[in-house]
Chains A and B, each alone.
Chain A
Amino acid sequence: MAAQALEEVLNHPAIWRGSECARVAAPSIPTGFAELDAVLPGGGWPAGALTEIHCERPGAGELQLVMPAAARLTQSGRWLTLIAPPYIPYAPALVSHGVRLSRVMLVQTPAAEESVWACGQALRSHGCGAVLAWLERAPERSFRRLQLAVENNDAVALLFRPGRAASASPAALRLHVSKSQSRTLVRVLKRRGSDVPAPITLDLHGRLAGRSGPARVAMPLLPEEGWLQSSRGGGSRIEESV
């Protein structure tokens, strides 16, 4: 009886539970991965806000994560701007992911400072649907400027960062991408509106690894001990460094 009464109270629209992913009406672009969309507030890459993607070493599928959204944006005529990419974004692979090459722009910069400037310019320009920037050496305080640049725009701003994340960042969403037993493990380090969810895994490399079957399968992993604690820690602390 008591549990039922409690359920009724909790169903009241005025009650908000911190464990729920807040369905804020934040503008967003679907990632193309249902499992990932499910854990992102707004159901996709946040538009008009910064997203950080942390990845220790290339080859974990960090770019493939972005490809469905990039394909959708470029096909609809928006531009995909890559700022200071560490390697050559390989055109044949982009095409096979459905990206329209005539809407891709590469910007090479001589220094981190110029990268941040170029990133700000691209984020302010309304033509850019997505800006992917590799700002390894840029100071964290410059991110505040980028956040201001993107705020009045509807671009998706993805900043690729080395693995270790600093403690504070104005980014609305922070992800950590790594590999776990041939699957890509995506941990949400920070998201707006609610607690960090359990990590999810995506099978991005299934075809390459020579296995058949559906390309993208989600399998919730048991959260590691540290993650469990942080999600139980609840309430105000929603950021956790790896």
Chain B
Amino acid sequence: MLWLALHFPSLALDARTRGASEPGPLVIASSAEANAVVVACSPAAQRRGVQAGMALAAACALDSRLNILARDTAAEQAALERVAAWAGQYTPMASLAPPADVLLEVAGSLNLFGGLTRLCESIERGVAELGYSARVACAPTPLAAQWFARAGHAAKIRHHDALRHALERLPVVVLDLSSQVAVLLEDVGVRTVGDVLRLPRDGAARRFGQRLIDDLDRALDRLPDARRPYAPPRRFMAALALPAPVHEAEALIFAARRLIAELCGLLAAGGNGVQQLRLTLSHEDHEDTTHLVLNLVAASRDPEHLVNVLRERLGRLQLAGPTTTIALASDSLVPLPARSLSFLPAPEDHSETVSRLIERLRGRLGDAAVKGIGLAADHRPERAWRAGEPGRDTVPDEATRRAPRPLWLLAVPLRLAASADTPCYEGPLTLLAGPERIESGWWDGADVTRDYFVARTPAQSLLWIYRERRDVGAWYLHGFFA
């Protein structure tokens, strides 16, 4: 077993500020009451002299413009759960260790991710993308890994032999003791874990409580330490409260990027992708929320792609007001077929890049702007084709292949002037081929009775024109042989 512990030293702050690139002078208070103390504060608040642990009133006295938010322990718990869900891409065994730790069992993942060092780097990078600052440590037991991470000691201990030696040097504060026991230990001059281990077991258990001894035994693998695996949700739903109301689309993208990173981790864990995403924006001083539904041509879990699609949509959106909360949800996660790596170069598959292109174009121009074309079994020229989804195959109908058809068709036939039964378009036309009689559609009210000709203008352009048979002398231009 090899446990990787993620410790979030500033979880209370990160959970509230990760939606913004620069949260400003922000203070997290322990409660909304008057005697509250500062739990955490942003770097900008620190520069104004605010420190964790000081009374909120004292902090307000330093600077009256501090942005004060009450601590939200439920949000912190939810943040841990979502980190665990995201980490499912690295290991099937993730476990929550409140208040501020997540444990991953990674012994089976080392080969896939290129060794422990690379795995740790990848996880650290990913956690930073989610917007958290984390300390990472590895040890053969979960509790030891947590202690190393809390001490800020980036240990990568893989064997039991080295474990005791490394543990001995940790300060006792990592042990998560009650304040009473901490004072007692301090009084007898016990500073490090090594000092505790050197105390007589019976006496130490009597004086400092059995729990301390049990914890040490668990950390040294003398007692079993079972952890409950975290079961990732079957659908994705995450909300992110922004530290300050946001006006610009680019700031929204920043926050959405955090949620999309979470989503993509969860998707990678299950080998899934999403085809539909719902984005909900709540506004300040506004009852209404803005709903945005993104439909993708093909399921995807590429964060860059999802961000790009979202960016195009948000760029066109008129917001009702400054946004305070951004929520991302996907009800159905669809399995994404895995691709096998090939030793030999495979024939290029363009379907993925093209479906992305279609999504980008639709994101900005609207769904109806991008179309495919197909054939339809109808003799009426305007109905012999139809618009549809790009990429749909239609079977060519051999019967219609004989007669000449122009490459350009006019959406609405253009009435041509005629002099002495000669139609004119930029001058009198010369009829080259025809007539081709098309008479069809009497059953649906849009019937046509036309004689089609290929005609040439004085400037030598070739046109496709027809004569309306029910209205003698009426000529229309219907296409160009471009």
Q: Does A13 contact B (CB under 8 A)?
A: no
Residues of A within 8 A of B369 (CB): 107-109
Q: Does A208 contact B (CB under 8 A)?
A: yes
Min CB–CB distance B87 → chain A (angstroms): 33
Query: Do A95 and B396 touch (CB < 8 A)?
Result: yes
In whole angstroms, how far apart are the Cα atoms of A16 and B210 in the complex? 93
Q: Which of A64, A93, A97, A108: most chain B Cβ within 10 A?
A: A93
Query: Do B461 and A59 touch (CB < 8 A)?
Result: yes
Query: Do A106 and B460 touch (CB < 8 A)?
Result: no
Query: Do B462 and A102 touch (CB < 8 A)?
Result: no
Q: Does A78 contact B (CB under 8 A)?
A: yes
**A/B pair count, beta carbons within 8 Å:** 177
Min CB–CB distance A128 → chain B (angstroms): 7
Min CB–CB distance B388 → chain A (angstroms): 9
Min CB–CB distance A211 → chain B (angstroms): 9
Chain A 114-137 interface 0/1 with B at a Cβ cutoff of 8 Å (1 = within): 100110011001111000000000
Q: Does A212 contact B (CB under 8 A)?
A: no
Residues of B within 8 A of A85 (CB): 408
Query: Do A125 and B354 touch (CB < 8 A)?
Result: yes
Min CB–CB distance B372 → chain A (angstroms): 6
Q: Does B222 contact A (CB under 8 A)?
A: no
List which A126-183 residues lie within 8 A (CB) of chain B.
126-128, 178-182
Min CB–CB distance A155 → chain B (angstroms): 11
B390 — nearest CB in chain A belongs to which residue? A105
Query: Do B384 and A91 touch (CB < 8 A)?
Result: yes
Chain A 93-111 interface 0/1 with B at a Cβ cutoff of 8 Å (1 = within): 1111100111111111110
Query: Do A92 and B408 touch (CB < 8 A)?
Result: no
Q: Does B418 contact A (CB under 8 A)?
A: no
List which B419-465 residues lie within 8 A (CB) of chain A.
426, 432-433, 454, 456-457, 459-463
In whole angstroms, how far apart are the Cα atoms of A27 and B404 in the complex? 34
Interface size of A by CB at 8 A reads 55
Residues of A within 8 A of B459 (CB): 57, 179
Question: Provided the pairs A62-B482, A101-B374 are in contact, do residues A127 and B357 lie with their beta carbons within 8 angstroms?
Answer: yes
Query: Do A121 and B361 touch (CB < 8 A)?
Result: yes
Residues of B within 8 A of A61 (CB): 462, 481-482
Query: Do B357 and A93 touch (CB < 8 A)?
Result: no
Residues of B within 8 A of A95 (CB): 375, 396, 401
Residues of A within 8 A of B426 (CB): 57
Question: Provided the pairs A61-B482, A107-B365 are in contact, do residues A208 and B372 lie with their beta carbons within 8 angstroms?
Answer: no
Question: Provided the pairs A106-B387, A205-B481 are in contact, do residues A117 and B410 lie with their beta carbons within 8 angstroms?
Answer: no
Query: Do A92 and B365 touch (CB < 8 A)?
Result: no
Interface residues on B, range: 35 or more
A182 — nearest CB in chain B belongs to which residue? B460
In whole angstroms, how far apart are the Cα atoms of A155 and B393 in the complex? 23
Residue from A88, A128, A179, A208 within 8 A of B404 (CB atoms)? A208
Q: Does A63 contact B (CB under 8 A)?
A: yes
Residue from B348, B371, B410, B481 within 8 A of A106 (CB atoms)? B371
Query: Do A96 and B405 touch (CB < 8 A)?
Result: yes
In whole angstroms, how far apart are the Cα atoms of A90 and B376 in the complex? 12
Q: Does B54 contact A (CB under 8 A)?
A: no
In whole angstroms, how far apart are the Cα atoms of A60 and B480 in the complex? 9
In whole angstroms, how far apart are the Cα atoms of A90 and B432 in the complex? 21
Residues of B within 8 A of A107 (CB): 361, 365, 369-370
Query: Do B393 and A92 touch (CB < 8 A)?
Result: no
Q: Does A210 contact B (CB under 8 A)?
A: yes
Residues of B within 8 A of A96 (CB): 401, 405
Q: Does A1 contact B (CB under 8 A)?
A: no
In whole angstroms, how far apart are the Cα atoms of A77 and B409 in the complex? 25
Min CB–CB distance A99 → chain B (angstroms): 10
Residues of A within 8 A of B371 (CB): 105-106, 108
In whole angstroms, how far apart are the Cα atoms of A100 and B406 in the complex? 17
Min CB–CB distance A212 → chain B (angstroms): 13
Query: Do B393 and A102 touch (CB < 8 A)?
Result: yes
Q: Does A232 contact B (CB under 8 A)?
A: no
What would be 21 A-B contacts, judged by CB atoms less than 8 Å apart?
A57-B461, A58-B461, A61-B482, A63-B482, A64-B481, A79-B350, A92-B405, A96-B401, A100-B393, A101-B374, A102-B372, A102-B390, A105-B372, A107-B369, A108-B370, A109-B365, A125-B357, A126-B348, A205-B462, A208-B454, A209-B456
10 A-B pairs besides A79-B354, A87-B482, A91-B394 with CB distance below 8 A are A59-B480, A63-B407, A64-B482, A105-B370, A106-B373, A125-B353, A126-B353, A182-B460, A208-B462, A209-B462
